[in-house]
Amino acid sequence: MKKFLSSIRSLFGDRPLWTVIVVGMAFVILIRNLYTMQILNTQEYEERIYEDQAEEYEVLGVRGNIYDCYGRELAVNVTSYSLYYKPDTVNPELNDTLLSLMDVLAQSGEELAIRDVLPIDYNANSGFFYTDRFANPNGTARLNFLAEIFGTKRADLTEEQKRTTAEQAYQQMRDETFSIDESLPLETVLRLEEVRYALFQYRWTPEEPVLIAENISDRTQAVVLEQSDKYKGFYVETVYSRTYPQGEIFAHIVGYTGHINEAELEAYAEKGYTETDRIGKTGLEASFEDTLRGKNGTVKVTYSGRTGERLSEQTISEATRGQDLILTIDADFQRECYNILYQHLKLLLLDKITGTSEDNNKAYSADDIVAALLLNGFFDTSLIQESTLPDARRYTEAFNQEADTALQTIVDTLIHSDTLIADYSDEMIDYFSLVISYLRENDYLSTDYRNDEERVYVRYVSGLTTAYEFLEYCYNGGYFKLEEFGLDPFSTAEEGLPVILQTTVEALRHNRQYEQMVFTNVLRKDLFNMRDFILLCYDLGFLSNEDGSREMFSNDEIDLLNLLRMKIRQDEITPGDINLDPSSGSMIVTDCDTGKVRAIVSYPSYDTNQFLNSYEYYEKVTSDRSSPMLFRALQETRAPGSTFKMCTSSAGLELGYIDLNTFVYDNYAYENVNSVAKPTCWSKISHGSVNVIGALEVSCNYFFYDVGYRLCDPAPDGSFNDNVGLEKLKYYALTLGLGTKTGIELPEAEPLISTQDAVRSAIGQGSHGYTVANINRYTNTIANGGDVCDLYLVDHIQNSDGTVTYRKDTTPVSKADVTEEHLDIIKEGMRLVNTETSKDDLEILDIMGMKTAGKTGTAEESYLHPEHAWYTGYTNFDDPEVSITIVIPYGNGSDKCLPIFKDLVEAYYMLEEPEMEEE
């Protein structure tokens, strides 16, 4: 027994034995599991080997549409195909693949979506050159680019590499970086380099697809899909893109959608946007993105591992259809209004094209127009340079010489000249401004130099310094980014400025604006004959000869002035193309009682369809200096001029400073001001004694100066504080709905209520700034007896099945703190404006039985330009229906707006309901 027990004990103590036992137990479990898997359940596992592959697919959501008030389409979906490429695809023949692809696209007239990416460019005249900010040889942009193509780091670039010319860069990319076939034509190689370079930018995120082409045809799609091994890594996605049937008429209102970019993707990440989504960029497409958007859904499809057939489909998240917007606007009326504004602008411009140049843009000669067309790119200087026509070459030669000499002149003048900037020739001023904008836009010069405390700056603003003084001020103030020019922070202006300027002018040599300026100057200096130039324009296709005008011109049957006038009348050249005052305008028509928008127009505009589909058009629109993309009606604030007088009247009447029996004698120049200069009435002939109604009728400035003065509660000795009066004017501007945003569903500029000079502010000068919408809203308040309403464009929102999910609540947002009695007084004044003062233009309305009222406004903003032309008015006087507000910046006199108002009122009343179109 003892032996047994002791042997048990020694067993217990046999540690190795225990080790084996523990290990053994573990393996028993494992073997048992193996038995279960391989013997008992082997069938089950056998099947499982070939089991289900589950894959998730995206189901596209459908975006809601935008319609006018009668259901006409303004923004609708259209299926289109986008071609993408996965940069992580391994394809040693990538260049060949791209060449074939470009061929295929060209056959269907399609373009690659990759543009403007390459830091170098080529034209027949200048050869190879660096573009934009890459033009600076010491700049980080250029060095980063060189590092990329030499496959090294910026810090490791050799001196020789840093000096790479544009042509050498082209060769480097062709031979080394991208291994492109040398024997291909230059244009093709350059294009390939651009695409390869663009793809190269995606090397940090190789899984992210790159958009190669949009809106490809069925044919292109078929080719890519059928030859999928040739086009490895390319795939086609069906996307819903948009078409805008009304084009430029609704461009600003409706806006457009585009591919989502990185910044937007980050901001909207939680809402489930992916890289290939489209998103509203401007207009209602953007502000109602959430409502319009159709969310993509996900579907999980399971395939049998063995047979590959589709086993089941499971919806993980539903794709949604966005909601539709129904606007308040009638497309026909909007179109009418747009055309009316355009036609009148055209006429105004034609009136100014008299053949003689007048200062401050008061009148234009034929040469002025040609110069303007060159500067705005209507006559495309790149095409001139690329053309092989003998005249074009001659012109380009002259341009080359002038371009080079001008550069030196610029550097010379800026550094050595003692002439004050104010005394510069027009030519030199333009060049100087270009130099400064180039430096600012590329961040080489910080705008902090705009410091009102610095005397040099203050003098500079008035042109009372030399260029060198100003540049030296900037240099010593540390406003230049010296590293970009390879300059030592301790260098002096004397050392550094020549470097900066030399680098800048070299960069400018191929700057488009500079080229345009020089081409213009070549004509101006008669280094190339104007007549030859016009004929060249026909040959290059800038002007059309369908009207036989080329022969008429070359036969001297028509001179240049009349030729241009003819082209403008025929709408071949538009005010927007010329971009000389007046080249823009905006107007708005709304319901007096509710703020419902009937029409809202901003000229110039652009065609959103072409904008999205043609790169050429896109470039033209984005570089057009008349800013067609700006929604002036909501975004451009201008001094209102006399249209502000109703506000001043309200302040005066309500606060008891004036009443119906307050008469003021118009003495022309008003003395009670805090400034040295005395403001005057617009009319040199006194208006005599007028009360508020009379003052409004004739728009007497003197009367309102006095009201402004009184509002300041002047002391017995006549001294006063402007702010006292300004506060009161501000109060009434706010309560009448003038000084606050209109509440419309699109982004608006913030209105500016004047903070300077109460007396001048009372007549709408000072520092006021309002949009046409602001003025219109306050006109409504006056017309409807004091209800301040928000302006609105969207009448209602509905689901795809027609259920209305939102309808605008038209209750007024507030009541103006002005009695109806006082408003009636003001309205009477406005009525008389239309029936008496503006009789010549508006009498016809009266005769036709439309009783209207309104107010003209002429606002001075800059002595270099004509005054703004404003008009705001409403119809019907007895029972106000709609109000109309028009502004033509630099239109030179409010009377210019009157014919527009007349035409608009007529158009409004002639409106018919359209035949209901079948959906």
Partner 1 sequence: MFDKNNLRGIDLLLLFLISALTFIGIVMIGSAHHWVLDQEHFYLDPLMKRQILGYVIGMFVILFILLLNYDALKLIIVPAYFGVLFLLVIVLFIGVGSEAEGDDVRRWIQLPAGFTIQPSEFAKIALILIMAWFLNIYQDRVNHILILLVLAGILGVPLFLIYKEPDLSTSIVVVSIGFFLLFNAKLKWRWIIPIVIVGVLVVFLVYRDAMSETPRILGKYQVLRIRAWQDPEAYQLEDAYQTIKSTAAIGSGGLTGVGLFQNSGTVPVATTDFIFCIIGEELGFIGAISVIGLQLLIFVRILFIGRQAKDLFGQLVCTGVAVSFIIQSAIHIGVCTGTLPNTGIPLPFVSYGMSSLISSMIGIGLVLKINAESKLDF
Residues that bind partner 1 (CB under 8 A): 13, 15-16, 18-20, 23, 26-27, 29-31, 33-35, 37-39, 41-42, 44-46, 48-51, 54
Identity (one letter) of the amino acid at 414? L
Question: Which residue's entry shows tokens 């975004």?
Answer: 635
CA–CA gap between residue 791 and residue 743 (Å, rounded): 6
Cβ nearer to partner 1, comparing 42 with 862: 42
Cβ-based nearer residue to partner 1, 88 or 175: 88
First to last CA, the chain: 106
| Cβ distance to partner 1 smaller for residue 18 or 665 | 18
Helix (H) or strand (E) holding 542: none
Nearer to partner 1, 71 or 305 (CB): 305
632 alpha carbon, distance to own chain's centre: 10
Considering the complex, state which of residue 301 and residue 749 has its C-beta at the smaller distance from partner 1.
301
DSSP states along 66-111: EE-TT--EEEEEEEEEEEEE-TT---TTHHHHHHHHHHHHHHTT--
14 vs 817 by CB, closer to partner 1 = 14
Q: How far is the CB of 392 from partner 1 (least distance, A)?
A: 58
- Residue of 286, 244, 292, 291 whose CA lies nearest to 264: 286
Nearer to partner 1, 29 or 676 (CB): 29
CB of 205 to partner 1, least distance (A): 15
Tokens of 69: 């008030």
Distances (CA, A) of 232 to 101, 236, 311, 846: 11, 12, 29, 73
Instruction: Find the shortest distance in angstroms from Cβ 26 to partner 1.
Output: 5
For residue 464, give Cα distances in angstroms to 423, 605, 616.
9, 38, 42
Q: 15 or 684, CB closer to partner 1?
A: 15
Q: Which residue has the tokens 């049957």?
A: 557
Rounded Cα distance between 869 and 898, Å, is: 10
Separation CA 839–CA 532 (nearest Å): 48
Please choose, from the candidates 903, 906, 892, the residue with its C-alpha nearest in 3D space to the C-alpha of residue 361: 892
Give the max Cα distance, the chain.
143
Pick from 581, 592, 894: which is nearest to 763 by CA? 894
Contact 253, 600 (CB under 8 A): yes
Cβ at position 479, least distance to partner 1 in Å: 44
> What residues pair up with 314 in beta bridges, in sequence order?
300
From the CB of 27, what's the least distance to partner 1, in Å? 6
We find the least distance from the C-beta atom of residue 307 to partner 1, in angstroms, to be: 15
> Which helix (H) or strand (E) covers residue 213, if one does?
strand 210-216
Residue 230's φ and ψ, nearest 5 degrees, are -70, -40
**Burial class, 625, CB count within 10 angstroms (exposed 0-12 / middle 13-18 / buried 19+):** middle
Q: Which is nearer to partner 1, 316 or 389 (CB)?
A: 316
Which CB atom, from 29 or from 715, has the smaller least distance to partner 1? Answer: 29
Nearest residue (CB) to partner 1, 31 versus 660: 31
**Integer Cα distance of 623 and 314 in angstroms:** 49
d(CA 173, CA 889): 49
What is the nearest approach in angstroms of partner 1 to the Cβ of residue 431?
Answer: 54
How many Cβ atoms from other residues are within 10 Å of residue 684's Cβ?
7
Q: How far is the CB of 57 from partner 1 (least distance, A)?
A: 14
Nearer to partner 1, 14 or 423 (CB): 14
Query: CA 320 to CA 116: how far, in whole Å?
Result: 36
For 55, 370, 590, 715, 832, the CA distances from 33, given in Å and listed in that order, are 31, 91, 81, 104, 102
Least Cβ distance, residue 9 to partner 1 (angstroms): 12
β pairing state of 310-317 and 297-303 = antiparallel
Q: Which is nearer to partner 1, 19 or 179 (CB)?
A: 19
Q: Which helix (H) or strand (E) holds 243?
A: strand 234-243
Q: How far is CA 352 from CA 22, 148, 362, 559, in A?
A: 105, 53, 7, 17
Q: Of 31 and 269, which CB lies nearer to partner 1 in the complex structure? A: 31
Q: Which is nearer to partner 1, 18 or 806 (CB)?
A: 18
Q: Give yes or no for a contact between 344 and 336, defined as CB atoms under 8 angstroms apart.
A: no
Minimum distance between the CB of residue 475 and partner 1, rounded to whole angstroms?
A: 47
Shortest distance in whole angstroms from residue 19 CB to partner 1: 6
- The span from the CA of 327 to the CA of 73, in Å, is 10
Minimum CB separation of residue 15 from partner 1 in Å reads 5
| Residue 49 or 677 with smaller CB distance to partner 1 | 49
Q: Enter the DSSP assignment of 273.
A: -
**3-state SS, residue 152:** coil
| CA gap 516, 522 in Å, rounded | 10
CB of 316 to partner 1, least distance (A): 12
E-only strand ranges, 803-906 = 804-807, 814-815, 852-859, 868-875, 882-888
User: At closest approach, how far in Å is the CB of 251 from partner 1?
Assistant: 46
Task: Find out whether 594 and 622 touch, Cβ atoms under 8 Å.
Answer: no
| Beta-carbon count within 10 A of 38 CB | 10
Q: How far is the CB of 313 from partner 1 (least distance, A)?
A: 16
Shorter beta-carbon distance to partner 1: residue 36 or 107: 36
Q: Smallest distance from the beta carbon of 20 to partner 1, in angstroms?
A: 7
Least distance (Å) between residue 405 CB and partner 1: 59
